[in-house]
Amino acid sequence: MRVKRPQADMAKGDMTPMIDMVFQLIAFFMVLINFSQTEANDQVVLPSSKLVKPPEAPIEFPIVLHVARDGEVFMGGDSFTAETLKIGLQREIAVIKAEKKSVGDANVIIRAHKDTAAGDVQEVIRVAQEQELVNFALRAKEDRS
Amino acid sequence: MKIRNRKDSEKMELDLTSMIDVVFLLLIFFVMSFKIVEMEGDFSVKMPLASSSSAVADPTDLALKLRLRANTEGKLTDMSLNDINLGTDFLALQNKVIELIGSTAPVEGEDGPELEIDTDYNLRYEYVIASITSVSGYKDGDQVVKLIEKIKFAKPRR
């Protein structure tokens, strides 16, 4: 009944190299992990451009608008059309005003899908302009080729 | 010497199971939340509402107007800068811009030339970005030479 020796033998394998490797892997992924909110949206594939560079300083008061292929606009977690976007923007502007800043300080970041109709993007810009927003950033993917 | 040997083998008897469990959990967490981030950048454009800017427009300013035309699928068919037809060649557009604004010297801040983009409604956005790329500058080695920094859009065409 007490013949349990083979099992005890198995547990005695040397774990050191495996633990070394696993710690290496953990260190690798920990260093590379990026928790920063890249505020991406699955429905948006950005156009690419050779000239854009990642911003050096974080943008002040960003309002990120994702424009999907069919012209649907996403802001925060909600979806809007160009017509209803006004309501969402007013909500954002209320937040900015509550922080005693002017509307002109806000930056509208437009992340539009590369196949979106340009007119839809223009409509979005026009709606934002009507809310007295003046700073726009058209976001593109960096093309290093 | 023999005594030390016995001590060593006693040390190895530590139970590593729980540590390995936790370490694997950590590893899985980091692997799962790992995502390669694509570098993104912005074209910053200052665009107040059109009516106010046209009222104070300086007539001595170089008025550059880029017209982009699209077919029904949203593909760029041709573009013209100040009524000079350029086909679909973005390099030609860039050369024309360099020719029109006179110098390739970097233009400082607010006083640079202004370009208005007038595009067909259904043109794909990537062509707009491509044209903005070619008019706003070019890369000279690692250096970026800036051309036009003030860009605005004309009224959307329905």
pLDDT digits (tens, 9 = 90+) for B114-143: 788 888 888 888 888 888 888 888 877 777
Mean pLDDT score, B51-60: 48
List C-alpha distances in Å: B110 to B45, B103, B114. 11, 17, 9
Q: Say yes or no for a CB contact (<8 Å) between B41 and A136.
A: no
Residue B142, classed as helix, strand or coil, is coil
Q: Say yes or no for a CB contact (<8 Å) between B126 and A115.
A: yes
pTM of the model: 0.73
Can you list the residues of chain A whose pLDDT is less than 50?
Answer: none
Question: Is B24 an interface residue toward A (CB < 8 Å)?
Answer: yes
List C-alpha distances in Å: B20 to A11, A16, A21. 13, 11, 12
Give pLDDT, residue A23. 92
pLDDT category of residue B54 using cuts at 50, 70 and 90: very low
Other Cβ atoms within 10 Å of A49 Cβ, number: 23
Best of A30, A136, A144 to disrupt the B interface (most B CBs within 10 Å) is A136
Distance CA B139, CA A51 (A): 7
What residues of chain A lie within 8 A of the CB of B51, using their CB?
A: none
**CB-CB contact of A76 with A63 (8 Å):** no
Of the candidates A80, A83, A129, the residue with the CA atom closest to the CA atom of residue B153: A129
Task: Indicate if ipTM > 0.90.
Answer: no
Of the candidates B85, B75, B82, B83, the residue with the CA atom closest to the CA atom of residue B130: B75
Q: Between A and B, how many CB-CB pairs are < 8 A?
A: 159
Q: Token pair for residue B126?
A: 């990537």
Residue type, B136: S
- The closest CB to that of B37, out of A34, A48, A59, belongs to A34
- Helix (H) and strand (E) counts for chain B? 5, 8
Of the candidates B133, B115, B103, B118, the residue with the CA atom closest to the CA atom of residue B46: B115
Q: Say yes or no for a CB contact (<8 Å) between A49 and B156.
A: no
Q: Say yes or no for a CB contact (<8 Å) between B45 and A33.
A: no
- In A, minimum Cα distance to B46 occurs at A135
Give pLDDT, residue B53. 46
Distance CA B115, CA B131 (A): 11
**Mean pLDDT over each residue of chain B, to the nearest integer:** 76
Q: Token pair for residue A131?
A: 């809310």
**CB-CB contact of B79 with B93 (8 Å):** yes
Question: Is B128 an interface residue toward A (CB < 8 Å)?
Answer: yes
Q: Say yes or no for a CB contact (<8 Å) between A22 and B139.
A: no
Distance CA B123, CA A119 (A): 7
- The closest CB to that of A141, out of B38, B124, B136, belongs to B38
